[in-house]
Structure 1
Amino acid sequence: MGVGILIGSCSSKNQTSTSKDKRPLVVFVTGDHEYSGESTLPIVAAELEKNYGMRTLVLKASPNQNSEENIPGLEALRDADLAVFFLRWRRLPKDQVAYIDEYLNSGKPVMGFRTSTHAFNYPKGHELEAWNAFGERAFGAPPGWGGAAKHSHYGHESTTDVSIIPEAAQHPILTGVDPNFHVASWLYRVLPDYPVKGTTWLLMGKSVNPNSQPAVDQPVAWTWQNPAGARVFMTTLGHPEDFQVEAFQRLVVNAIHWELGKPVPKNWKGKMDIQVPYRGIVN
């Protein structure tokens, strides 16, 4: 079974659920303007299907990543065993948001990348304005960009050195992950108030060539149990060049297994070929 990449408005029911296929279903929800999640995550999805015994479905903003008001197929979340979000400043209609709300209340695991901290951007007074704090509800992350949490980054000319937090070194998600690696993502500021109390920090980031001083080290990956009792994994990394780094690839695959309650792979199937360039925000 190939990766189900759903980009139209057709129903996903027949694509996602069969009575005989017991493999867990991972649904990726993408639409982020800038970081090409709709291109990197399908490669991860294909790897999960080929080598790790999972079914996958990739949902994309339509007609392209800049389309803020439509992600067809979100009803597939009803069949999902894990939902993975890579979103940025969406304004989805109420009926589509309802599927995400239902999933977040289900107690099933949730995973997020980078700009999912500010997945929604409804105008003040909109009936869905509370969804602008999606990052806090879903991941224990800052509730949107800027604001009282001062969620921001250290500049587009910077990169990040990542290291395993010693106290977390034995966490299953970090199995086989290099203790130190470098990524292209500019470091996101989340401290001092986030991640929320009760999170377990896994990786710390140090800004390289920051545009402001002092540059404070920040957690870049953590786990949590959200109010619905679900396992959560969040990383503020996700620049497309990050996906070229084997340590990051392994982190992602391990986290998906952990979230599903499956043992992390003892035998790493090898580095994925993910050659997606950074495009920035383009029309």
Structure 2
Amino acid sequence: MTAHRTAALLAAVLLVAGAPATARAHPGPSRLADVRVLAHFDRAAGQAAESIAPQPGGGAVIGMIPARQVVRVAPDGAVQVLVTMPLPPGGGGTTPVVGAPVVTGVARSGSGDVYFLYSAGQGALTGIWRLGRSGEPRLVVPLPADTMPNALVIDRDRVLVTDSADGRIWQAPLRGGAASVWSADPALAPDGFFGANGLKIHDGAVWASNSDRGTIVRIPVTGGRAEVRATGLAGIDDFDFTGRGDEILAAINQASELVRVGADGSHDTLLDAADGMQGTTAVVVRGHRVYVTNGANLVGNDSNLLVAELRR
């Protein structure tokens, strides 16, 4: 695989956990204000910011590709490496599609444990890992070596994970154990590169983005066929709901943009390269605070975490 193709894939990876919202009508679209960089990361060392798990007090935990790290960003912007995952035996790059081993999605449980995804392709390392208060990572849900786990969401006593290589959503017990395929709907499948990517639980349904197809789809939590809710979002990575019904903020990796997607599927750009977007990978909304990561894989070299005020 060429270096260009590997970089393109790494830029497309992402995940984060979302908060449910009640669907109801609201006047006018949401906007962002007071956008600022909370933390800059060491892109030369592989710290391409990927996914976001906010923490109480205004900090966040971030997954880093291809540094294979999980880091904590304090409310004042200080960065602490929590874990660097080991390379598989021989240090080979066998991860599906990507080639290189990567840490992708992160999530934080109600008890404060950090869950994250590692894809290594060999060495029985691929799966869902838990970083407890002891600081030692533990593989709690193994996944097949030919999967590309990307985003994860904690849904009460289970975890849901997108598989970008095969276009599936896996489920597993939060406490750990065996994983099973929850959905393999054709709407999740890749179209030559990366399929199901971002993932959220919202309004009685599982929502997922498809990077290749530029779509956001909705699947009832009780199961069933996927419904396409938005199109024309080529290179979409992660997304989250604003709290105004089905309104969404979406990270568009390839275009380095953060866009607002209306409940009717229409979309407009809120932040772009002029605002410092460089390979935008993830977005999380918590109340009136918005977190946005830029991985700087395809353009630029400023991997960072932005914060902004959401004005509804």
**TM-score when normalising by structure 1:** 0.33
Larger fraction in helix: 1
Larger fraction in strand: 2
Higher relative contact order structure (alpha carbons within 8 Å, sequence separation ≥ 6):
2
